[in-house]
Amino acid sequence: MARGIKDKVAILGMGCSKFGERWDSGPEELMVEAYLEAMQDAGIEPTQLDAAWFSTHIDEIGTGKGGTPLSVALRLPNIAVTRVENFCASGSEALRGAVYAVASGAADIALALGVEKLKDTGYGGLPVSNPGTLNPQLTPNGSAPGNFAQLASAYRA
């Protein structure tokens, strides 16, 4: 029977980059800003990290594919970095991955970090992304929130 993880994991620290139109900063700078604040808040050193989860959505215009952008930007020690993507829930997926790594004993300390930098593309609003093999709700002008609203309306009906 599942017993949960409520007594197996603690969040040691957190950090957040400053909100606003950050034309002077790219995704890498935003990651570093949040990371340094989180590490200071936690009172730990980078060598204490066992693994990291990196969330970002639109890799074609943002940070790039895979976990490499996080490990390079933060100059992480030789640890595994897993990139996760789940639209607006990507940050939650990163946190969930890190939490379950600690709860399972696979890591003593894990990092979860997410970044998105959309406004530097010159595109007004969310850019169009590849819908994959099947997404009938997506139109050339669609966005994740718009698609979710359409799905919610259809579900309600």
- pLDDT tens-digit map of 9-51: 999 999 999 988 888 999 999 999 999 999 999 999 999 999 9
Beta bridge partners of 55: 84, 114
Q: Between the CA atoms of 118, 119, 123 and 124, what dihedral angle is there, to the nearest 10 degrees?
A: 110
pLDDT of residue 82: 96
pLDDT of residue 57: 81
Q: Considering only residues 133 and 156, tell me which one the structure prediction assigns the higher pLDDT.
A: 156
How many other CB atoms are there within 10 angstroms of residue 138's CB atom? 18
pLDDT of residue 20: 85
Average pLDDT over residues 44-72: 88
How many other CB atoms are there within 10 angstroms of residue 47's CB atom? 9
Rounded to 5 degrees, φ, ψ at 81 are -120, 125
Average pLDDT over residues 134-154: 66
- Residue pointed to by tokens 């940050």: 91
Distance CA 127, CA 57 (A): 11
Q: Considering only residues 5 and 11, tell me which one the structure prediction assigns the higher pLDDT.
A: 11
- Per residue in 92-131, pLDDT (tens digit) is 999 999 999 999 999 999 999 999 887 676 555 555 555 5
Q: Which CATH architecture has domain 1-125?
A: 3-Layer(aba) Sandwich (3.40)
Residues of the chain with CATH 3.40.47.10: 1-125
Strand order in the sheet with 110-114: 80-84, 51-55, 110-114
